[in-house]
Structure 1
Amino acid sequence: YAIENGCMRGALAADDERVIAVSVWPDLETMNAVIESDHYKVIGEAVGASWSAGGINLPDDIEYVCNGELLALVVPE
């Protein structure tokens, strides 16, 4: 849903302590419109439930970065 509505890139990474979610948006207005939408709230609840079932406790085990400095990005051809 996010990619279809403006998110340019997204990734999840994990280590023994946390999950790190990164997304890149063209601007904050686009991102806010998506994450504040009713549809995204429904999706977010489902994702949160599946992560909890897998032992990931929100928000303690996740770090979310939006439009941070991207140090490296590998995209297969």
Structure 2
Amino acid sequence: MKKKTALTKMHIAPSTVCYDAVAARDSNEVGLILAAVRKRNGYSLVTFSELLRHYGVDVSDKGISKWEKGESLT
């Protein structure tokens, strides 16, 4: 059986999806996903920062580290 990921949930009708942004923030869900994807693709913090800059997201390697640790939300 195929393992469901967060992305496969998008195939569910929006009215049936319940997303708790406060719980996601408190558990640092986004930061943990960001760190896992970055590491799985072999990017260092510096390289990932440069990649994001290429797409118009101006964030330093230290900023990404803070996102991943849940120390910063902006």
Higher RCO (CA < 8 A, seq sep 6+): 1
| Both proteins in one fold, TM over 0.5 | no
State the TM-score, normalizing by the size of structure 2: 0.33
Specify which structure has the higher proportion of helix. Answer: 2
Specify which structure has the higher proportion of strand. Answer: 1
Bigger-Rg structure (1/2): 2
State the TM-score, normalizing by the size of structure 1: 0.32
